[in-house]
Amino acid sequence: MTMRVLAAALLLSGVFSAPAALRADGDQGAAPRLVVITAGDPVGEKMTYSRATIPAKPGERIRLRLMSTGKLPAVVMTHNWVLLTLGSDPKKFADAAANAAKTQYIPAALKGQIVAQTAMVGPGETSEITFTVPAKPGTYPFICTFAGHYAAGMAGTLIVK
């Protein structure tokens, strides 16, 4: 039996596992948990994500997929998903973001408060990110930073425990 055949047999039998670099997810363990959030056009004056809370475990890997189901043109209706650090003030962040159109509604002075973020998505578009949940338990705010969206209700919390 050649060394390649023996190695393949051991990998297939589960005696040895493939190095992390060869795994599809590139992570040291299981694939990240998929969380799908949709965002659309306003209903009346209200705007929301499809999920207001996301439970998570410290250090967990999450693959977050943000999908826009809206029909309005992207120039007036785009969305993102921005997870802020524990203790951040989402209103102050959103207020600063409203004046940061040139940087995709991310205020440069407050970038240090971001744990994870998606790209902006317009009608029918999707953005996906993979991130590690913070190790410290607590309630982490997430918001849409497009001008006026936080004030209209596009916010939620990642609850780490």
Comparing 8 with 28, the larger pLDDT belongs to: 28
The domains of the chain are located at: 1-28, 32-160
Distant-in-sequence, close-in-space partners of 18: CB < 8 Å, separation ≥ 6: 11
Domain 32-160 has CATH 2.60.40.420: yes
pTM for the whole structure: 0.81
Question: What pLDDT score does 26 carry?
Answer: 39
Do residues 23 and 53 touch, judged by C-beta distance below 8 A?
no
Q: Exposed, middle or buried: residue 18 (CB in 10 Å: 0-12, 13-18, 19+)? A: exposed
What tokens were used for 118? 């998606």
The least confident of 1-5, 37-41, 95-99, 153-157 is: 1-5
The least confident of 44-48, 104-108, 153-157 is: 44-48
In angstroms, the CA 128 to CA 84 distance is: 17
pLDDT confidence band for 42 (50 / 70 / 90): confident
For the chain, give the mean pLDDT: 85
Whether the pLDDT of residue 65 is over 90: the answer is yes
- pLDDT 10s digits, 66-102: 999 999 888 889 999 999 999 999 999 999 999 999 9
If you search the block for the tokens 């939620």, which residue do you land on?
Answer: 156
Whether the pLDDT of residue 146 is over 70: the answer is yes
**Helices and strands (H, E) in the chain, number of each type:** 2, 8
Question: What pLDDT score does 28 carry?
Answer: 54
- pLDDT 10s digits, 100-126: 999 999 999 999 999 999 999 999 999
Q: What is the CA angle 25-115-154, rounded to 5?
A: 105
